[in-house]
């Protein structure tokens, strides 16, 4: 209904996560940098936490769209309190292994064999688990054991864990000390700041053909941030209801009174308080001095024409342009990373073949690769 009234080609504020609507908030940009760094290391665990609706699933969907499938074999699991045996069966399925009726020992052997097969094909395996806070401690320990699989000193499996804030408390369990030591990067997705709400709305509207209506006053934007607490899903929930209200009332501009009416309806529907910000968490790893990695680095959103959602005209501040020297340095690092990756993949293939051949007397010939993986 509101799509027709505002001339939009689709629903800009659907509640289902959709990577097409990825928006670069400061916290999501930092999360992508952490994930890119983790991928470049090729080992250990990367942990991303955040409140429900803050964009963890959209983040991972965006990452998967950036990953080169010829370099990584991705297994994605949404956790529903999986016990260790169920977890192993799910991993087996991701490796296209039939584990029906198999014992735990047989499944572990099958998983190791499957990881070797993927590595022989020149790829690494990335296991992504969403809703990790639902995993029992025994299943998390099983994941740590899976991360031990290697070929010639190279890890065969890397694991990304996504969960709600309480997952950080789970990781503090003394039984998970060994897993915690293998976490190479951790980031907590924070809600949007107040000044990110307008560009967020504009970005989503522009993707479905926005042509200048609807528009929002400064007071309306402030009210949206207050009610939503900066949680993207709650912003979408409120914005969708606002557009429906506007279509019914034939409104093209929304101010504080209109927002107050819609918020009152929503509060009556849910009978719950507005979302609150989660407490900030200390980062165990800082990336200030680490250059962005080519794999996993988010693609910047296309710039939108110089228009504003607000009724008042607001001059936009242009983004700072990177210096030429920095661009050249980044290009050099990306080229070097690609060369190293190609060499390491050849090394990994040779080592896997050597390990599986069982010929301990004959070492693999790596002489042709020397100088490429430096």
- pLDDT, averaged per 10 consecutive residues of the chain (374 residues), comes to 78 90 92 92 94 93 87 88 92 93 94 95 93 94 94 92 95 93 95 95 93 92 96 95 93 94 89 45 37 35 51 45 59 67 64 60 54 46
Q: Tell me the C-alpha distance between 136 and 158, whole Å.
A: 19
> Among candidates 76, 75, 67, 124, which has minimal Cα distance to 295?
67
Beta strands across the sheet bearing 124-130: 72-78, 124-130, 157-163, 45-50, 183-189
Question: Residue 214: is the preceding peptide bond cis (ω within 30°)?
Answer: yes
Q: Which two tokens stand for residue 112?
A: 């190791």
Q: Percentages helix, strand, coil for the chain, rounded to the nearest 5? A: 50, 10, 40
**pLDDT at residue 315 in the model:** 43
- Give the residues across from 159 on adjacent strands: 45, 127
Q: Which stretches does DSSP call E strand in the chain?
A: 45-50, 72-78, 124-130, 150-151, 154-155, 157-163, 183-189, 215-216, 253-254
Give the C-alpha distances (Å, rounded to integers) separating 242 from 6, 53, 203, 307.
12, 19, 17, 20
Residue 295 makes CB contacts below 8 A (sequence gap 6+) with 36, 39, 40, 66, 67, 68, 71
Task: Return d(Cα 42, Cα 35) in angstroms, integer.
Answer: 11
d(CA 182, CA 69): 25
Tokens of 354: 């050597």
Nearest to 78 by CA among 21, 115, 133: 133
Burial of 98: CB neighbours in 10 Å, binned 0-12, 13-18, 19+: exposed
Residue 245: per-residue pLDDT? 94
Q: Are 182 and 144 in contact (CB under 8 A)?
A: yes
Predicted pLDDT of residue 280: 37
pTM of the model: 0.72
**Nearest alpha carbon to residue 104 among 86, 121, 117, 125:** 86
Q: How confident is the model at residue 342, as a pLDDT?
A: 66
Q: Which residues pair with 130 in a beta bridge?
A: 78
Locate 55 and state its tokens: 């964009």
Separation of alpha carbons 166 and 111, rounded Å: 30
Give the per-residue pLDDT at 269. 82
> CB–CB of 144/183 below 8 Å?
no
d(CA 350, CA 293): 26
Query: Looking at the DSSP assignment, which residues form a beta bridge with residue 45?
Result: 159, 183
Q: Which residues pair with 190 in a beta bridge?
A: none
Estimate to the nearest angstrom the gap between the alpha carbon of 272 and the chain centroid. 29
The sign of the CA dihedral 308, 311, 313, 315 is negative
């Amino acid at each position: 209904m509101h799509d027709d009234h505002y001339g939009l080609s689709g629903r800009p504020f659907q509640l289902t996560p959709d990577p097409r609507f990825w928006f670069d908030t400061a916290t999501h940009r930092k999360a992508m940098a952490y994930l890119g760094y983790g991928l470049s290391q090729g080992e250990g665990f990367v942990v991303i936490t955040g409140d429900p609706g803050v964009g963890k699933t959209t983040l991972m969907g965006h990452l998967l769209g950036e990953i080169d499938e010829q370099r990584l074999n991705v297994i994605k699991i949404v956790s529903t309190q999986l016990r260790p045996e169920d977890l192993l069966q799910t991993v087996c399925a991701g490796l296209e292994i039939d584990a029906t009726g198999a014992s735990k020992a047989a499944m572990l052997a099958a998983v190791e064999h499957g990881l070797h097969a993927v590595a022989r094909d020149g790829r690494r395996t990335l296991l992504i688990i969403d809703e990790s806070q639902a995993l029992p401690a025994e299943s998390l320990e099983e994941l740590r054991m899976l991360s031990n699989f290697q070929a010639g000193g190279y890890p065969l499996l890397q694991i990304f864990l996504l969960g709600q804030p309480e997952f950080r408390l789970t990781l503090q369990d003394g039984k998970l000390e060994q897993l915690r030591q293998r976490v190479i990067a951790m980031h907590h997705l924070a809600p949007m700041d107040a000044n990110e709400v307008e560009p967020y709305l504009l970005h989503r509207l522009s993707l479905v053909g926005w042509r200048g209506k609807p528009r929002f006053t400064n007071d309306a934007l402030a009210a949206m941030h207050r009610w939503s607490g900066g949680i993207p899903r709650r912003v979408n929930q409120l914005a969708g209801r606002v557009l429906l209200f506007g279509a019914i009332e034939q409104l093209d501009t929304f101010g504080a009174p209109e927002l107050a009416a819609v918020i009152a309806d929503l509060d009556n529907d849910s009978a719950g308080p507005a979302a609150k910000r989660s407490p900030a968490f200390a980062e165990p790893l800082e990336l200030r001095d680490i250059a962005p990695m080519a794999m996993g680095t988010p693609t910047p959103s296309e710039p939108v024409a110089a228009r504003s959602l607000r009724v008042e005209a607001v001059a936009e501040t242009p983004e700072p342009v990177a210096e030429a020297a920095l661009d050249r340095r980044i290009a050099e690092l990306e080229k070097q990373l690609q060369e190293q990756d190609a060499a390491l993949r050849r090394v990994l293939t040779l080592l896997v073949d050597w390990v599986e051949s069982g010929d301990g007397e004959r070492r693999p010939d790596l002489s042709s690769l020397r100088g490429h993986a430096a």
